[in-house]
Structure 1
Amino acid sequence: MSLLAEFFEFLKEYKVVALAVAFIMGVAATALVKSFVDNLIMPIIGVLTPSGNWKEAVLPVGPINFGIGPFGAECINFIIIAIVVFMIAKVVMGEEKVEKK
Protein backbone atom coordinates (compact mmCIF):
# COMPACT_ATOMS: atom_id res chain seq x y z
CA MET A 1 0.00 0.00 0.00
CA SER A 2 1.44 3.36 -0.97
CA LEU A 3 1.97 6.14 1.50
CA LEU A 4 -0.71 8.27 -0.16
CA ALA A 5 -3.26 5.43 -0.01
CA GLU A 6 -2.45 4.89 3.68
CA PHE A 7 -2.94 8.60 4.31
CA PHE A 8 -6.37 8.60 2.66
CA GLU A 9 -7.31 5.47 4.61
CA PHE A 10 -6.28 7.28 7.80
CA LEU A 11 -8.47 10.25 6.87
CA LYS A 12 -11.47 7.97 6.26
CA GLU A 13 -10.99 5.67 9.25
CA TYR A 14 -10.57 8.42 11.84
CA LYS A 15 -13.07 10.78 10.16
CA VAL A 16 -10.54 13.59 10.18
CA VAL A 17 -12.48 15.72 7.70
CA ALA A 18 -15.67 15.52 9.81
CA LEU A 19 -13.64 16.42 12.88
CA ALA A 20 -12.13 19.42 11.07
CA VAL A 21 -15.59 20.59 9.98
CA ALA A 22 -16.89 20.22 13.56
CA PHE A 23 -13.91 22.18 14.89
CA ILE A 24 -14.44 25.01 12.39
CA MET A 25 -18.16 25.14 13.22
CA GLY A 26 -17.27 25.22 16.93
CA VAL A 27 -14.93 28.16 16.42
CA ALA A 28 -17.62 30.01 14.43
CA ALA A 29 -20.26 29.26 17.10
CA THR A 30 -17.89 30.46 19.81
CA ALA A 31 -17.34 33.75 17.97
CA LEU A 32 -21.10 34.15 17.57
CA VAL A 33 -21.80 33.51 21.26
CA LYS A 34 -18.93 35.79 22.32
CA SER A 35 -20.38 38.58 20.19
CA PHE A 36 -23.83 37.92 21.68
CA VAL A 37 -22.48 38.18 25.21
CA ASP A 38 -20.24 41.20 24.55
CA ASN A 39 -22.80 43.20 22.57
CA LEU A 40 -26.16 42.23 24.07
CA ILE A 41 -25.70 40.73 27.54
CA MET A 42 -22.82 42.85 28.88
CA PRO A 43 -24.46 46.24 28.17
CA ILE A 44 -27.51 45.14 30.18
CA ILE A 45 -25.33 43.94 33.06
CA GLY A 46 -23.29 47.14 32.82
CA VAL A 47 -26.43 49.23 33.36
CA LEU A 48 -27.41 47.11 36.38
CA THR A 49 -24.03 47.46 38.13
CA PRO A 50 -23.20 50.65 40.05
CA SER A 51 -19.82 51.26 38.42
CA GLY A 52 -21.03 50.69 34.87
CA ASN A 53 -18.49 48.72 32.87
CA TRP A 54 -17.85 45.79 35.21
CA LYS A 55 -16.09 43.87 32.45
CA GLU A 56 -13.06 46.09 33.13
CA ALA A 57 -13.19 45.51 36.92
CA VAL A 58 -9.99 44.55 38.72
CA LEU A 59 -9.33 43.42 42.27
CA PRO A 60 -6.10 44.99 43.52
CA VAL A 61 -4.18 42.84 45.99
CA GLY A 62 -0.92 44.54 46.77
CA PRO A 63 1.04 45.02 43.55
CA ILE A 64 -1.15 42.50 41.68
CA ASN A 65 -4.38 43.38 39.85
CA PHE A 66 -6.71 40.44 39.34
CA GLY A 67 -9.03 40.93 36.34
CA ILE A 68 -12.28 39.71 37.87
CA GLY A 69 -14.41 41.49 35.26
CA PRO A 70 -12.89 39.76 32.21
CA PHE A 71 -12.96 36.43 34.07
CA GLY A 72 -16.65 36.90 34.85
CA ALA A 73 -17.37 37.69 31.20
CA GLU A 74 -15.56 34.55 30.07
CA CYS A 75 -17.54 32.51 32.61
CA ILE A 76 -20.77 33.85 31.12
CA ASN A 77 -19.47 32.99 27.61
CA PHE A 78 -18.65 29.45 28.75
CA ILE A 79 -22.07 28.90 30.32
CA ILE A 80 -23.90 30.12 27.21
CA ILE A 81 -21.71 27.99 24.91
CA ALA A 82 -22.27 24.94 27.13
CA ILE A 83 -26.05 25.47 27.00
CA VAL A 84 -25.98 25.86 23.20
CA VAL A 85 -23.89 22.68 22.77
CA PHE A 86 -26.23 20.81 25.13
CA MET A 87 -29.29 21.92 23.15
CA ILE A 88 -27.68 20.97 19.83
CA ALA A 89 -26.74 17.56 21.23
CA LYS A 90 -30.33 16.99 22.36
CA VAL A 91 -31.74 17.94 18.96
CA VAL A 92 -29.17 16.09 16.83
CA MET A 93 -29.13 12.93 18.93
CA GLY A 94 -32.89 12.97 19.35
CA GLU A 95 -32.68 11.55 22.85
CA GLU A 96 -34.69 12.51 25.89
CA LYS A 97 -31.62 12.46 28.10
CA VAL A 98 -28.05 13.05 26.94
CA GLU A 99 -26.03 10.18 28.41
CA LYS A 100 -22.43 9.12 28.42
CA LYS A 101 -21.96 6.13 26.14
Structure 2
Amino acid sequence: MSVVKEFKEFVSKGNVVDLAVGVIIGAAFGKIITSLVDDIIMPPIGYMTGGVDFADKKVILVSADAVNKVEEVAIRYGNFINTLIQFFIVAICIFAVVKAINSLKRKEEELPAAPAAPSREEALLADIRDILKSQKS
Protein backbone atom coordinates (compact mmCIF):
# COMPACT_ATOMS: atom_id res chain seq x y z
CA MET A 1 0.00 0.00 0.00
CA SER A 2 1.46 3.35 -0.96
CA VAL A 3 2.00 6.08 1.58
CA VAL A 4 -0.37 8.43 -0.27
CA LYS A 5 -3.14 5.81 -0.23
CA GLU A 6 -2.58 5.14 3.48
CA PHE A 7 -2.68 8.86 4.19
CA LYS A 8 -5.94 9.28 2.25
CA GLU A 9 -7.46 6.37 4.17
CA PHE A 10 -6.27 7.84 7.47
CA VAL A 11 -7.65 11.31 6.73
CA SER A 12 -10.95 10.02 5.40
CA LYS A 13 -11.73 8.18 8.62
CA GLY A 14 -14.38 9.94 10.68
CA ASN A 15 -12.26 10.16 13.83
CA VAL A 16 -9.65 12.39 12.20
CA VAL A 17 -12.26 14.73 10.75
CA ASP A 18 -14.15 14.82 14.06
CA LEU A 19 -10.92 15.63 15.88
CA ALA A 20 -10.09 18.44 13.45
CA VAL A 21 -13.56 19.94 13.85
CA GLY A 22 -13.24 19.66 17.63
CA VAL A 23 -9.89 21.48 17.62
CA ILE A 24 -11.26 24.29 15.44
CA ILE A 25 -14.40 24.67 17.56
CA GLY A 26 -12.25 24.52 20.70
CA ALA A 27 -10.02 27.33 19.44
CA ALA A 28 -13.04 29.49 18.67
CA PHE A 29 -14.54 28.63 22.06
CA GLY A 30 -11.27 29.65 23.70
CA LYS A 31 -11.50 33.10 22.10
CA ILE A 32 -15.07 33.46 23.37
CA ILE A 33 -14.00 32.50 26.90
CA THR A 34 -11.05 34.91 26.76
CA SER A 35 -13.39 37.72 25.79
CA LEU A 36 -15.88 36.68 28.48
CA VAL A 37 -13.21 36.81 31.17
CA ASP A 38 -11.39 39.95 29.96
CA ASP A 39 -14.42 42.01 28.95
CA ILE A 40 -17.26 40.86 31.23
CA ILE A 41 -16.01 39.07 34.34
CA MET A 42 -12.78 40.86 35.22
CA PRO A 43 -14.05 44.49 35.04
CA PRO A 44 -16.63 43.97 37.83
CA ILE A 45 -14.03 42.09 39.89
CA GLY A 46 -11.62 44.97 39.33
CA TYR A 47 -14.34 47.43 40.35
CA MET A 48 -15.08 45.46 43.53
CA THR A 49 -11.38 45.45 44.38
CA GLY A 50 -11.07 49.21 44.00
CA GLY A 51 -10.36 49.53 40.29
CA VAL A 52 -7.65 46.90 40.16
CA ASP A 53 -6.94 45.57 36.65
CA PHE A 54 -5.42 42.13 37.08
CA ALA A 55 -3.94 42.14 33.57
CA ASP A 56 -1.60 44.97 34.63
CA LYS A 57 -0.44 43.29 37.84
CA LYS A 58 3.20 42.23 37.77
CA VAL A 59 6.38 42.02 39.79
CA ILE A 60 9.17 43.88 38.00
CA LEU A 61 12.51 42.07 38.19
CA VAL A 62 14.46 44.41 35.85
CA SER A 63 13.17 47.85 34.88
CA ALA A 64 13.24 48.94 31.26
CA ASP A 65 16.12 51.20 30.34
CA ALA A 66 15.96 52.95 26.96
CA VAL A 67 19.53 54.19 27.20
CA ASN A 68 21.05 50.74 27.67
CA LYS A 69 18.35 49.12 25.51
CA VAL A 70 17.25 46.82 28.29
CA GLU A 71 13.67 45.56 28.16
CA GLU A 72 11.55 45.13 31.25
CA VAL A 73 11.64 41.71 32.85
CA ALA A 74 8.59 41.01 35.00
CA ILE A 75 6.48 38.23 36.44
CA ARG A 76 2.97 38.95 35.17
CA TYR A 77 0.88 37.23 37.82
CA GLY A 78 -2.22 39.21 36.80
CA ASN A 79 -2.29 37.47 33.43
CA PHE A 80 -1.92 34.18 35.26
CA ILE A 81 -4.96 35.00 37.42
CA ASN A 82 -6.96 35.80 34.26
CA THR A 83 -5.84 32.53 32.68
CA LEU A 84 -6.87 30.56 35.78
CA ILE A 85 -10.33 32.14 35.68
CA GLN A 86 -10.60 31.29 31.97
CA PHE A 87 -9.59 27.70 32.72
CA PHE A 88 -12.25 27.35 35.41
CA ILE A 89 -14.93 28.76 33.11
CA VAL A 90 -13.95 26.33 30.34
CA ALA A 91 -13.89 23.46 32.85
CA ILE A 92 -17.37 24.37 34.10
CA CYS A 93 -18.71 24.57 30.54
CA ILE A 94 -17.20 21.22 29.58
CA PHE A 95 -18.52 19.67 32.79
CA ALA A 96 -22.02 20.96 31.99
CA VAL A 97 -21.89 19.57 28.44
CA VAL A 98 -20.58 16.17 29.58
CA LYS A 99 -23.19 16.01 32.34
CA ALA A 100 -25.96 16.79 29.82
CA ILE A 101 -24.68 14.14 27.40
CA ASN A 102 -24.42 11.56 30.19
CA SER A 103 -27.99 12.28 31.31
CA LEU A 104 -29.21 11.80 27.73
CA LYS A 105 -27.31 8.51 27.52
CA ARG A 106 -28.87 7.35 30.79
CA LYS A 107 -32.35 8.14 29.43
CA GLU A 108 -31.58 6.10 26.32
CA GLU A 109 -30.37 3.20 28.46
CA GLU A 110 -33.52 3.31 30.60
CA LEU A 111 -35.80 2.84 27.59
CA PRO A 112 -36.94 -0.76 27.35
CA ALA A 113 -35.40 -2.74 24.57
CA ALA A 114 -37.61 -3.76 21.69
CA PRO A 115 -38.91 -7.29 22.09
CA ALA A 116 -36.85 -9.86 20.28
CA ALA A 117 -38.20 -11.16 17.02
CA PRO A 118 -39.81 -14.60 17.41
CA SER A 119 -37.69 -17.54 16.42
CA ARG A 120 -38.54 -19.52 13.27
CA GLU A 121 -40.21 -22.22 15.30
CA GLU A 122 -42.35 -19.71 17.19
CA ALA A 123 -43.39 -18.05 13.94
CA LEU A 124 -44.39 -21.42 12.46
CA LEU A 125 -46.34 -22.34 15.59
CA ALA A 126 -48.13 -18.98 15.47
CA ASP A 127 -49.05 -19.62 11.80
CA ILE A 128 -50.39 -23.09 12.67
CA ARG A 129 -52.42 -21.60 15.54
CA ASP A 130 -53.90 -18.96 13.26
CA ILE A 131 -54.80 -21.59 10.65
CA LEU A 132 -56.47 -23.76 13.29
CA LYS A 133 -58.43 -20.77 14.63
CA SER A 134 -59.66 -19.90 11.15
CA GLN A 135 -60.81 -23.51 10.53
CA LYS A 136 -62.86 -23.57 13.75
CA SER A 137 -64.83 -20.49 12.74
Smaller-chain TM-score bracket: 0.7 to 0.9
Report what 2:84 is aligned to: 75
Count of aligned positions: 95
What secondary structure does 2:33 align onto?
helix
Q: What TM-score does the superposition give when structure 1 sets the normalisation length? A: 0.77
Q: CA deviation at 1:15?
A: 1.5
The percent identity for this pair of structures is 34
Change (3 A) 1:9 1:17: same
Report what 2:98 is aligned to: 89
User: Which sections of structure 1, spanning at least 5 residues, go unmatched?
Assistant: 97-101
Q: What TM-score does the superposition give when structure 2 sets the normalisation length? A: 0.59
Change (3 A) 1:3 1:59: closer
Q: CA deviation digits over 1:15-69, x for unaligned, max 9? A: 1111000001111111111111111101101101135223211124x53521111
Larger radius of gyration: 2
Q: Which amino acid aligns with 1:69?
A: G
Report what 2:23 is aligned to: 23
**Alignment RMSD, CA only?**
2.3
Q: Distance in 2 between matches of 1:86 and 1:66?
A: 31
User: Which sections of structure 2, spanning at least 5 residues, go unmatched?
Assistant: 63-72, 107-137
Q: Distance in 2 between matches of 1:83 and 1:90?
A: 10
